[in-house]
Amino acid sequence: MTIPTAPNPTAAGSGRSATERFSQKELSAGAVDQARVSAIATDAIHALHEVIRRHHVHYAEYDALKAWLIRVGEDGEWPLFLDVWLEHVVEEVVNADRLGTSGTIEGPYYIPGSPEFRSEATLPMRDGEQGTPFVFQGTVTDLDGNPLEDARVELWHADDDGYYSQFAPGIPEWNLRGTILTGPDGRFAFHTIKPAPYQIPTDGSCGALIAAAGWHAWRPAHLHLKVSAPGKQLVTTQLYFEGGEHVEDDVAQAVKPQLILRPTPATSGVGEEVIYGFALDPAA
């Protein structure tokens, strides 16, 4: 894979990368349930009709909407738009019956196939990677607290400037991405850096919407995780930091109280650490 070398990421570049990655994603195939498609599409269209009537939308606003929708496609920002403003509700519906660790949105920047390690590892990072050293550790268990061997704990997060590898130029391919396979004790430990809050890209169409509406574009600092084990349900989640900026007003509305970490000074004397356990539901 060729890594771009341009110095400054852009929303359009990030959007195109997210769109290309989504296009490569293995989507669920199956017969189309026409009645369900009709019901969902009809309700969505009727909801937009009601918005138009309630707010007395006029043609200048309608034309602005059409122009903006075209720009979202040109910028490649549909994955960004959908993941920021809609995905949290889909996740809530899909995981309503989960008994174990809570999930939240995946977001547009997941890449499968990150480097694998056993039990404990330092995430791939650049020499002199900026940020507070951080140890994220814990165990993966079933709902009864029994440790799970060979559980997969995938971790990825932004760097100290808020950029993700493979979606911004000049960052090594697997920077701050890795997978740990647990041993018989179910334990894992990642050595990484503590990510910072960041703005979603604002120089593209999503940024134009944010500016026009007077919203903010910030996400709180967070770790992304996918945790799975044989015979168990995969959980996709994000973990946040107590007292962090924008934990209370995340633009993606993805924060849940049970997903907030409370780090302490590291026992090594350098940086911070936290222990967090994952309890996985049985596979359906």
Model confidence over 138-181: pLDDT tens digits? Answer: 999 999 999 999 999 999 999 999 999 998 899 999 999 999 99
Q: What is the CATH number of the domain that holds 161?
A: 2.60.130.10
In the prediction, which pLDDT does 11 show?
55
Query: Does residue 122 carry a pLDDT above 90?
Result: yes
For residue 40, tell me if it sits in a domain.
no
Instruction: State the residue range of the domain holding 217.
Output: 94-280
For residue 20, tell me if it sits in a domain.
no
Higher per-residue confidence, 8 vs 143: 143
Q: What does the mean pLDDT of the chain come to?
A: 91
For residue 8, tell me if it sits in a domain.
no
Q: Give mean pLDDT, residues 73-86.
A: 90
For residue 59, tell me if it sits in a domain.
no
Question: What is the rounded CA–CA span in Å between residue 40 and residue 18?
Answer: 26
Q: In this structure, what are the phi and psi dihedrals at residue 174, rounded to the nearest 5 degrees?
A: -110, 25
For residue 120, tell me if it sits in a domain.
yes
Q: How far is CA 122 from CA 25, 50, 190, 281, in A?
A: 27, 52, 6, 28
For residue 58, tell me if it sits in a domain.
no
Q: How far is CA 68 from CA 53, 61, 63, 183, 224, in A?
A: 20, 10, 9, 50, 30
Contacts of residue 25, Cβ cutoff 8 Å, sequence gap at least 6 = none
Higher per-residue confidence, 277 vs 28: 277
250-262 pLDDT, tens digit per residue, is 999 999 999 999 9
Q: How far is CA 19 from CA 13, 83, 237, in A?
A: 10, 12, 21
In the prediction, which pLDDT does 80 show?
87
Instruction: Name the pLDDT band for 189 (thresholds 50, 70, 90).
Output: very high
In the chain, the number of structural domains is 1
Instruction: Name the pLDDT band for 222 (thresholds 50, 70, 90).
Output: very high
Question: What is the rounded CA–CA span in Å between residue 89 and residue 210?
Answer: 20
Query: Does residue 212 carry a pLDDT above 60?
Result: yes
Question: What is the rounded CA–CA span in Å between residue 148 and residue 183?
Answer: 8
Query: In the chain, what percentage of residues exceed pLDDT 70?
Result: 89
Angle at 153 between CA 257 and CA 174, to 5 degrees: 105
Q: Give mean pLDDT, residues 208-226.
A: 96
For residue 88, tell me if it sits in a domain.
no
What residue type is assigned to position 57 of the chain? V
Instruction: Choose the weakest-confidence range: 9-13, 80-84, 257-261.
Output: 9-13
Q: Which residues pair with 187 in a beta bridge?
A: 139
In the prediction, which pLDDT does 2 show?
33
